[in-house]
Amino acid sequence: MYGKPRSSGRRLAVLQLLADLLTEHIRNPLTQWSLGTFGGIAEFSRAPDEPVKLTTSAQRVAAVTARGGIAIRIDAALRPFASESTTRLDWSHRVALCLPRDACAMNRRAALTELGADTGALRAEDRDDMLFDLGLDALQADLCIRISDSATAKQLRELVGRPVFEPGNPAMGIILAANPHRVFLSRIGRVEVYQKIPPVTGKSPEGPHTHVLPKLLKSRRTHAATELIPDDLVPCAHFYPAHPIKDGNGDLRPFDHAQHDTFQRLLDVYGSPRSIDTKRKVVAAIDDEQSPWVSDQRHDRAARTAIRVALRQMKAQAHPSRALPLWLEAFDRLGGSSEDEDASQHGH
């Protein structure tokens, strides 16, 4: 389902498939979410026993807790794209919720801007509070804060029109002291974070939180280089189904075959057919005790990533083939440097 939009005759069917997909995962507390850009990301997650208000309809899905919330609009232009990539020691996976490149752009403001009351806030009590765009000029996301305190709003109004990271600008100091809600917006939805901003030297809190990393924002990338999304698509949000060997905090756990199979089914429907085919061929070759391939695939990034992910998944499942160690030695010497390692600002 990635690539060009479906014909108009199948629009309702596409919308129903999207609604079913997003409803399934918004209801699942093990699925995590994010919205933003490379270097500026808002993440949403919730604990299985955490009180939550869920909204599911043909138009949108949403989840709101005391710590934050997310809403995703269901649009026929939306293209889910599932992918896997290698991390330092294992692998990550995600489903990017993409729009065509020519339909994803937000407002691209380059200076602090007051937007008025946040009438689209997920909670009624927040809709009179003032929204300020931080002006970080990201393509597919507006990175904003929401101010409830009138004195803080007055201080920020005096700095409107200035880049927040320009030398001598006190805006970020005011924002950090105020600990406002962070509200990240894209064409398909929003993530709101109500938890406090941790100190620079502090660890991000569990649950909803944000990362704003100016050095990464300067790259103007829309996503990590390790996420091989088709060139005509731009990710406007992501969801991360439960991982087979890591819990929601990234800690290792015994291999969960059900979680693995769940994501592989998503990959079959929404992933790159070429990468899927490469993985299947690798598994079949190892099942047949074949020697490692000697081919140009070593120099093809997408194929190399698919091979390495397949090998790591087989190793994690303790696959008994005597050929597997030979393939790992040929294609995936863990501990060495790799351009394919996940360089994104968050990991799932």
pLDDT tens digits, 57-66: 999 999 999 9
Distance CA 69, CA 185 (A): 12
pTM for the whole structure:
0.92
Residues in the chain: 348
CB atoms within 10 A of CB 220: 12
Q: What is the pLDDT of residue 8?
A: 62
**Residues paired with residue 60 on neighbouring β-strands, in sequence order:** 73
Q: Which backbone phi and psi does 332 adopt, to 5 degrees?
A: -150, 75
3-state secondary structure (DSSP) of residue 1 = coil
Instruction: Measure the CA dihedral 112/115/116/119, to 10°.
Output: -130
Output DSSP code: residue 44. E
Secondary structure element (H or E) that encloses residue 71, with its range:
strand 68-73
- In the predicted model, residues of the chain with pLDDT beneath 70 are 1-9, 295-299, 334-348
- 141-158 burial, b at 16+ Cβ within 10 Å, e below that, comes to bbbbbbbeeeebbebbee
- What phi and psi values does residue 335 have, to the nearest 5 degrees? 105, -20
State pLDDT tens for residues 212-257.
999 999 999 999 999 999 999 999 999 999 999 999 989 999 999 9
Residue 334: the pLDDT is 66
Contacts of 154 by beta carbon, 8 Å cutoff, 6+ apart: none
What is the pLDDT, as a whole number, of residue 11?
A: 83
The domain ranges of the chain are 272-331
Q: Give the per-residue pLDDT at 333.
A: 81
